[in-house]
């Protein structure tokens, strides 16, 4: 009788153990896996700066073309053009270029003698078509009859002036002229308005307009 009671208790314990194990559904995560997750946490100062990206910030686009306005002789024109380009959000730079030119100049010193003044009046009327009277020539004044880049042409003209009885002489002068250049950097999708280029072409016909790829932009 006691043996059957003992077997019944053993069987009851086994059944209770099986019943309890069937209701255990939650698995406990190993302690080692949680430790690994903590080890993967890194501070911003420990990360590579190249891997950090600011959300919403786009890379600045480099200009890929330049439009150049050259042979500008007036500084106010330069200031106006630069301000117009910057008002459209484009980068613009101005450069001053000094050009020295050597010219042969024919000059005449007007004296009090009436014969030399009369000769000059006749020369201007016949060779230049200018109606100038003796009263228009102030004694002691200095007049320029012409400027030449070529010496041979200047000497030929001087010879004609002297033959006409005008006491003229030839002088070599170095004339320094300042010209300006404006460079506007255009970006893809952002160009200088055609209205500004049209105004430049209409008001200042001597200004040269050229367009090319910017040298500082790398091209494949």
Residue located via tokens 């690994």: 36
CA-based nearest residue to 115, from 164, 153, 71, 66: 164
pLDDT tens for each residue of 155-176: 999 998 888 888 899 999 988 8
- Asked whether residue 48 carries a pLDDT value surpassing 50, the answer given is yes
Maximum CA extent, the chain: 170
Q: For residue range 135-159, what is the model confidence (pLDDT) as tens digits?
A: 777 777 888 888 898 999 999 999 9
Of 150, 155, 158, 103, residue with least CA distance to 127: 158
Structure tokens at 4: 């059957």
pLDDT per residue over 65-96, tens digit each?
899 999 898 999 999 999 999 999 999 999 99
pLDDT, one tens digit per residue, over 7-38 is 777 777 777 777 766 655 445 545 555 555 55
Where is pLDDT greater, at 36 or 189?
Answer: 189
Nearest to 68 by CA among 81, 83, 84, 86: 81
- The closest alpha carbon to 218, from 90, 64, 58, belongs to 64
The pLDDT score that the predictor gives to residue 4 is: 73
- Distance between CA atoms of residues 34 and 114, nearest Å: 116
What strand order describes the sheet that includes 91-109?
Answer: 142-148, 91-109, 168-186, 65-72, 208-213
SS3 content of the chain, % helix, strand, coil (to 5): 40, 30, 30
The per-residue pLDDT for range 88-138, each reduced to its tens digit, is 999 999 999 888 888 999 999 887 666 777 888 888 888 888 887 777 777
pLDDT at 175: 80
pLDDT of residue 138: 78
**Which residues face 175 on adjacent strands?**
101
| 3-state secondary structure at position 30 | coil
pTM above 0.85, yes or no: no
**Which residues, in sequence order, are bridge partners of residue 159?**
none
């Amino acid at each position: 009788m006691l043996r059957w009671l003992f077997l019944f208790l053993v069987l009851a314990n086994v059944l209770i153990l099986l019943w309890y194990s069937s209701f255990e559904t939650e698995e406990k995560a190993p302690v080692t896996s949680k430790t690994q997750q903590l080890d993967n946490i890194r501070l911003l100062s420990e990360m590579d700066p190249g891997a950090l990206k600011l959300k919403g910030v786009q890379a600045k686009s480099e200009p890929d073309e330049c439009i150049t306005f050259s042979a500008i002789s007036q500084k106010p024109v330069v200031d106006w053009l630069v301000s117009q380009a910057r008002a459209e959000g484009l980068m613009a730079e101005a450069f001053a270029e000094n050009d020295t030119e050597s010219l042969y100049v024919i000059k005449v010193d007007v004296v009090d003698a009436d014969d030399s003044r009369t000769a000059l009046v006749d020369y201007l009327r016949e060779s230049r078509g200018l109606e100038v009277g003796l009263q228009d020539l102030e004694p002691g004044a200095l007049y320029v009859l012409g400027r030449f880049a070529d010496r041979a042409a200047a000497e030929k003209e001087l010879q004609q002036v002297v033959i006409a009885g005008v006491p003229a002489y030839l002088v070599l002068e170095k004339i320094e002229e300042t010209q300006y250049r404006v460079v506007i950097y255009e970006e893809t999708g952002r160009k200088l308005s055609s209205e500004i280029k049209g105004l430049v072409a209409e008001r200042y016909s001597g200004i040269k307009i050229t367009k090319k790829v910017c040298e500082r932009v790398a091209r494949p």
